[in-house]
A and B are shown apart, each in its own frame.
Chain A
Amino acid sequence: MAGSKNNGVQVTWNTQLGTMLAVASSAVGFGNFLRFPGLAAQYGGGAFMIAYFCAFLLLGVPLCWVEWTIGRRGGILGGHSCASAFMLISHSSVWKYLGIAGVLAPLGVGMYYMYLEGWTLGYCWNTAVGNLSLHHSSQYAEFFALFTGSASDGAAYTSKSSLPYFFALAIVANLYLLYRGITRGIEWFCKWSMPILLLTALVILVRVLTLGTPDPAQPYHNVDQGLGYMWNPSKTVLKVDDITVEMIPAEATEQQAEQMTQHVQLTNPGKRVQREHISLIRGLLNPDLWITAAGQIFFSLSIGFGTVLTYASYVPRRKDIALVALTANAANEAVEVGIAGMMIVPAAVSLLGVAAAASASTFGLGFTVLPEVFAAMPGGRLFGTLFFGLLFLASVTSSISILQPTMAFLEEFWRLTRAQSVVVAGLLIVVGAFAVSWYTGDGMMALSTLDFWMGTMCLYLISSLYLFLFRWVWGTRNGLRELGRGARIPLPHGLGFVINWITPAILLVIFSSWLYKNIFQSTSEHIHNLIDGKPGAILPMLWMLVIYIFMAFVTHTSRRFHKRPVPPQKS
């Protein structure tokens, strides 16, 4: 069913359901179960959720349709990677250099994705053998720190952590499956593993929602408070030296709020404790929140990764892409918001408290919270093993999809065989992944650097390029005609207007306000880390620059697309 080239024969997707399942399967992974809950907790839910849904409707859905359409058009013209599709549609060789960004970003994300797969596999094993049957929240945090080596750079490679073995296993599994092709693997996974993963997640969700108040000594650490933290549009929080440590429940009286404030002051002697009301409007005026929400939508729906573009390039001309894309998006959102977010954020608040939930690393929250949930449920060891094992499989299918654009690029521009492409892509990714696994100090410096610059900013840039190509170069009318070909749903009447004006305006406003804030107000820590020359930030980014130069060289020297392509039909 998969779109790939085997023995020179182009294979296209057989069924619409198969295409949708494969795309949904590649989209469901760490973005849903780890990244989204981590960001929702960091940004305090509420306003973040509203920005997130606005981004889904006004950026996610239109841009996803744009990417599918560009992908199928590129495939019809003979290009299966972002660089070739951009060039063939625009008839300009400048666009192939811009399109390299669509190959570079997934490669950068893939570097830390494989590292996270090592975490997941390690947690699966440690849950199965009972190493995670601990007694206190602090022990789970200690286990996480020791296992991932977050204490200092290179700490994961000490004898105390088994992570390097699982990390190596994850890399070997990825490269092997990439070499063998995963056509049947994805199909099997969609049919069996994905439903089991979702069923397991639903059982865990039920357990989380019935946790009540796990620690009677901490009456405000409960599920209701957790749900309130995630969904209340406005909230009152207690801050110690500008760091959120507690949320005052909406139903609390002034006396109870004062008691909480005094309790926090007692546990933080000598520090400045202040009560702060965060209204919805104030939350929504934060540009960082918007760019993160938009970045999460792009990451989660795989927009800008080039994966969707490569998949779409194998969809036959007269098959539907509009409904398939929308269904894959909806499935992804249902899992992300309806299951993963509802599972991890309330569990984090009720088990660890608001302070720990808000300050946890983006990807680390799930690993510090879920083992404690498993310990508190009957059959928790089985469910824990099953959950982490299936999440590992889901993430492997995602990471292999993430590497498809690089494979397509190397096979197209350098005319490499699959085995040669795996070697080159493997080399590029393993060096980066090793840097990510080494620079774990300073709050997982290398991981957070790549996640911000490649997993957020670069996706933002590529999505803007998609839109620019679709809107100004190809023409919205031509693009919508292509999208509508074979569509099984009527396209919304205002879609052209949204793509022409609303989506570009939102992208521009969010990016401009983010730039303004980071240049004229307070510089982002990610920019600071680069300016300060921290090796954990500089080295991964330098490696990405080297890869870009290498890809530009490959593109420049390739003779594959030197002949001017045939202009698209006017009909």
Chain B
Amino acid sequence: MTLPGIITMILSIGFVWILLSVCVYRLLHEPASSRTPKKDRQN
């Protein structure tokens, strides 16, 4: 395996796992409808 190959592998796999971790964290911790317009929330 070459160095560009190792870099491509680490970047690709690292990217998807970091993206997944951030998404799951926000899904579990971000308060629901925090970005819903005020008008919609009142409804």
Contact = CB atoms under 8 A, between A and B. Distances in A.
B5 A233 contact: yes
A330 B12 CA distance: 12
Given A232-B2, A250-B1, A334-B20, A485 B37 contact: yes
A449 B11 CA distance: 34
B4 A233 contact: yes
Interface residues of B, number: 29
Interface in A39-53: 46, 49-50, 53
A487 B35 contact: yes
Nearest to A342: B13
Interface in A324-376: 324, 326-327, 330-331, 333-334, 337-338, 342
A142 B3 CA distance: 38
The size class of the interface chain A forms with chain B is 35 or more
B27 A323 contact: yes
Given A486-B40, A487-B35, A488-B32, A327 B8 contact: no
Contact of B1 (A17, A227, A324): A227
Nearest to A317: B40
A50 B8 contact: yes
Interface in B5-43: 5-6, 8-9, 12-13, 15-17, 19-20, 23-24, 26-28, 30, 32-37, 40-41, 43
A257 interface: no
Nearest to A251: B2
A20 B35 CA distance: 19
Nearest to A327: B23
A227 B9 contact: yes
Contacts of A228: 1-2, 5
B26 A323 contact: yes
Contacts of B15: 53
A320 interface: yes
14 contacts: A49-B12, A53-B12, A231-B9, A234-B4, A250-B5, A318-B36, A318-B43, A327-B23, A330-B16, A338-B13, A338-B16, A485-B40, A486-B35, A489-B26
10 closest cross-chain pairs (CB), A and B: A327-B23, A232-B5, A330-B20, A228-B1, A231-B5, A333-B16, A330-B19, A231-B9, A250-B2, A488-B30
Interface of B: 1-2, 4-6, 8-9, 12-13, 15-17, 19-20, 23-24, 26-28, 30, 32-37, 40-41, 43
